[in-house]
Each structure stands twice: as structure tokens, then as C-alpha cells.
Amino acid sequence: MLTQASLPNSAIKTRHTGTESGVGAIEMIGTVMSFVRNAEIYGEGEQVEFLYKVISGTVRTYKVLADGRRQIGAFYLAGDLFGFEAGDEHGFSAEAVGDSKVLVIKRSAIFALAARNSDVASQLWNLTTRELRRMQSHIMLLIKSAHERVAGFLLEMADRSPASNEFELPMSRQDIADYLGLTIETVSRTLTSLENAAAIALPSARRIVLRDRVALGKLSG
């Protein structure tokens, strides 16, 4: 459930000027909601009702297995849309990594729009296939060695950040570990090892400087 506030019956409330990325009319209708660090945005098994766009902060989607292992499906940064899921039920849960603002859009509104406007429909398709590609590259990460996974993850984050060679990680080591299918210790060790190899610098735990993209690229498989 949405823990921060109950959503008004008609989600069409604020007009949002979608200037960030060229996805067009889809994000024009919705409500901006705030979530504190670790707040749940939606839960696994819940009815799929909305689409979401990160306004600020970072969101993670994840699934918890019976034995407690957690797999993070994806991280969504400011500007990213999420909530494209199969079926009527969410297969993953979504949480705010840090304090975040999220634009919440009723699905039915989008579908109604899409039924009348084929441009919107094709946008919807594009966003979904983009999501597909994200998953494909996630799969490609998961089959690699720990060094390759971490190097690949850093390159991915760098490409998604405004400044390409230096950035702040919004998520914890545990989050990274659960995204990469590694333990927190292995992530930590690998980062130190990359620093020792002069591929990156770590001014602080969360701050990453890419020193040698070529070396990272080689490492990332």
C-alpha cells in the first residue's frame, strides 16, 4: 500500500510539465507524492493501478524470497518511469531508497488516452521495451564474475548520472549487493580492489570517481 498518503480517487490533480525526457503526453496527468527513505511505494502482489515517474530521489524495486534473500530488480533515478509490470499484480515491491518525490499516474487514464491516441500507445510500447532492455542488461550482468558485475554496475550508474565521471551512489552497499546477486562483503572488497587498481577513486563510501573507464570496461566483460 501507499504508506505516505492515501491517493485521491481521481488522480488527475496536478498538471505536470514534462520537460525532463521526451516521453510526451503520458506524464502530463498525475499526482506528485513524497516518500521518506525506505518507504514503500507499492507492494508485491498488490493490484497494478498506477505508473510512476521519479521526480527526485531514487527508487528500488525488489522481491524477497521465502528464505529472506532479497533481489533488487532495478534502480530508478530522477526522470525514470517505473511500474511497467506484467499482469494485474505487482511481481515486485517498490521502495524509496532515499527521500524521494514520485509522480503517480493512474493507469486507466493512460490506457484511455492510448486507446484514442496511437502516439500515446506507441510511447507506452517504447517505454515498456526500454524496460525490457534494462532487464536484458541486468541479466548480462548477473552471469559475470564479481569484478565484472561491480565494474559494470559503476559504468551503468555513471551513464545515468549527469556528470559522467564522478557521482554519488544513492544506495547502500547492501542494495548494490542485492542488485548484483553478491554479498555486501564482496561488493566492498571489489570496490577496494578497483581502487587499488587505480580504476576508480573513493573519496567517501558513497562517492565514486571513475579514473580508468577503459580498465573498467575490460573488467566488466
Partner DNA sequence: CGTGATCTTGAGGGAATTCAATGTCGGTGG
Partner DNA sequence: CCACCGACATTGAATTCCCTCAAGATCACG
Residues in touch with DNA (CB under 7 A): 145-147, 172-174, 181-189, 191-192, 202, 204-206
The nearest distance, CB 217 to DNA, in angstroms, is 17
Distance CA 205, CA 9 (A): 43
188-195: Cβ within 8 A, 24+ apart? 190/146, 190/147, 190/150, 191/150, 193/147, 194/147, 194/150, 194/151, 194/154, 194/219
Instruction: Pick one of a copy of itself, DNA, none as the site partner of residue 66 (Cβ within 5 to 8 A by kind).
Output: a copy of itself
Instruction: Pick one of a copy of itself, DNA, none as the site partner of residue 124 (Cβ within 5 to 8 A by kind).
Output: a copy of itself
Instruction: Pick one of a copy of itself, DNA, none as the site partner of residue 185 (Cβ within 5 to 8 A by kind).
Output: DNA
The nearest distance, CB 134 to DNA, in angstroms, is 22
Question: Would you say 79 or 221 has its CB closer to DNA?
Answer: 221
Distance CA 138, CA 142 (A): 6
Instruction: Pick one of DNA, a copy of itself, none as the site partner of residue 174 (Cβ within 5 to 8 A by kind).
Output: DNA
3-state secondary structure of 3: coil
Distance CA 182, CA 166 (A): 24
Beta bridge partners, 96, equal 59
Cell (9 digits) for 178:
542485492
Binding site for a copy of itself (CB under 8 A): 63, 65-67, 69, 71, 73, 84-87, 91-92, 111, 114-116, 118, 121-122, 124-125, 128-133, 135-136, 138-140, 142-143, 181, 221
